[in-house]
Amino acid sequence: MTALGTSARVVIAEDSAVLRDGLVQLLTDRGFAVLAAERDAVGLERAVTADPPDVAVVDIRMPPTFTDEGLQAALRLRRSHPEVGILVFSQYVETRYAAELLAGGAAGIGYLLKDRVADVSDFVEALVRVASGGTALDPEVVTQLMGASRRTDTLGALSGREREVLTLMAEGRTNSAIAAALTVSEGAVEKHVASIFAKLDLPATSTDHRRVLAVLRYLEG
């Protein structure tokens, strides 16, 4: 996805009428095209399917249960419309679904906490970045996703080629795409990825997405 600036096409999903209308006004005033503003996940998915935007701004807790409808809808949209950027905008960090959302690559994904957005320009910049295929993660989201793992300068242990591989991983590239970009074999990429996991102290578990955690370490570093 190329850089779009504030001409990006946006769909909003937010159950609070006041915040929803405020986002519409804010974005319209800055040149965004707001295609739809919905109050629930059903409306969000319907609007995106009818006219896919560049980016969807999604709250987590929406009707009917006000638990995780927004993130579950975002996961479904990520599978059905991978070209649509997703900016989760919520008061809460839901680590399980956030990790799943990032599992396919961090490109075109954002997760901001409402209470921590101090300036409108920061929100607009993040929205443009996600719409253009970039990443925007609140540091608090990164911290919680990484859980209790200690924060060390482990990125310094990576070789130059391993850093290149990790950079491409952060762009959402598959191993085969990384191999093509670096003009190496896919087997060589797999070895580099395994070495990255080892150096970042990311052992295989039944619950953690090591690729996601490695990318988060990169973004944090």
pLDDT at 219 over 70: no
Q: Domain check: are 162 and 197 in the same one?
A: yes
Q: Domain check: are 158 and 141 in the same one?
A: no
pLDDT at 195 over 60: yes
More confident residue, 212 or 152: 212
Q: Domain check: are 17 and 118 in the same one?
A: yes
pLDDT at 1 over 50: no
- 26 SS3 class: helix
Last-in-domain residue among 91, 111, 146: 146
Q: Domain check: are 127 and 210 in the same one?
A: no
d(CA 30, CA 183): 42
Q: Domain check: are 139 and 169 in the same one?
A: no
pLDDT at 2: 40
Q: How many domains, in total, are found in the chain?
A: 2
Query: What CATH number has the domain bearing residue 123?
Result: 3.40.50.2300
Q: Domain check: are 199 and 162 in the same one?
A: yes
Q: Domain check: are 88 and 184 in the same one?
A: no
pLDDT tens-digit readout, 115-174: 888 889 989 999 999 999 888 888 787 777 665 344 445 677 889 899 899 888 876 778
pLDDT at 24: 97
d(CA 182, CA 162): 11
Q: Are 184 and 171 in contact (CB under 8 A)?
A: no
pLDDT tens-digit readout, 98-110: 777 877 666 789 9
pLDDT at 19 over 60: yes
pLDDT tens-digit readout, 35-92: 999 999 999 999 999 999 999 999 999 988 888 899 899 999 999 999 999 999 998 8
pLDDT at 210 over 90: no
Last-in-domain residue among 113, 146, 179: 146
pLDDT at 220: 61
Q: Domain check: are 141 and 161 in the same one?
A: no
Q: Domain check: are 140 and 168 in the same one?
A: no
- Structure tokens that stand for 124 in this block: 């607009």
Q: How many CA atoms lie within 13 A of 34 on its CB side?
A: 17
188: containing domain:
154-220
- Structure tokens that stand for 1 in this block: 């996805």
Q: Domain check: are 164 and 139 in the same one?
A: no
pLDDT at 95: 75
